[in-house]
């Protein structure tokens, strides 16, 4: 899927005011659609759209490349805020999306900086197995990145000759 840009676009039907669940999610795989379109829907205040958007992002992140594209578009930090809700219909797809996004190391840094770790730790106590597993896998990916960085730092410190004598 090289050079493919994945954008998530949400379109509410005219009947959405009557039937809020009647929402279409269009996944476009086209290099002509700018990734920046992904950011706007993440800013929706309407909670009924959030689970659909999070699920669409999870479905799109089938590779590290697509996860990186979402991260570069600024999708990670707003998704972390979705975890602050008590609504399990939002938390489940959000955990799945964050897990998929965490496969890309740059996104793990953003997750950590956005305050995801305490929220994900809270998700470990969820009654929903999918939420528990996605949160645990996400935390694992963040931890593995931290370990790799510590090991690299340790190796580089040992490789430098000591200036003390």
Give me 69's structure tokens.
């594209």
The residue ranges of every structural domain in the chain are 6-149
Give pLDDT tens digits for 29-80.
433 334 444 444 455 566 778 888 898 888 888 888 888 889 988 899 999 9
Pick the CATH number of 6-149 from 3.40.190.10, 3.40.50.1820, 1.25.10.10, 2.40.340.10: 1.25.10.10
Euclidean distance between CA atoms 54 and 11, whole angstroms: 15
Euclidean distance between CA atoms 66 and 4, whole angstroms: 8
Categorize the per-residue pLDDT at 164 as very low, low, confident or very high, splitting at 50, 70 and 90: low
Give pLDDT tens digits for 98-142.
999 999 999 999 999 999 999 999 999 999 999 999 999 999 999
């Amino acid at each position: 899927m090289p050079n493919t840009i994945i954008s998530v676009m949400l379109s509410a039907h005219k009947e959405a005011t009557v039937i809020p669940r009647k929402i279409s999610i269009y996944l476009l795989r086209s290099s002509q659609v700018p990734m920046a379109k992904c950011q706007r829907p993440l800013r929706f205040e309407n909670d009924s759209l959030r689970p659909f958007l999070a699920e669409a992002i999870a479905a799109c992140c089938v590779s590290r490349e697509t996860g990186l594209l979402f991260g570069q578009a600024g999708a990670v930090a707003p998704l972390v805020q979705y975890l602050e809700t008590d609504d399990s219909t939002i938390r489940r797809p959000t955990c799945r999306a964050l897990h998929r996004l965490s496969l890309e190391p740059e996104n793990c840094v953003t997750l950590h900086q956005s305050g995801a770790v305490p929220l994900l730790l809270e998700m470990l106590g969820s009654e929903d197995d999918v939420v528990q597993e996605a949160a645990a896998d996400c935390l694992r990916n963040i931890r593995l990145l931290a370990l790799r960085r510590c090991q690299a730092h340790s190796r580089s410190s040992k490789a430098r000759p000591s200036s003390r004598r």
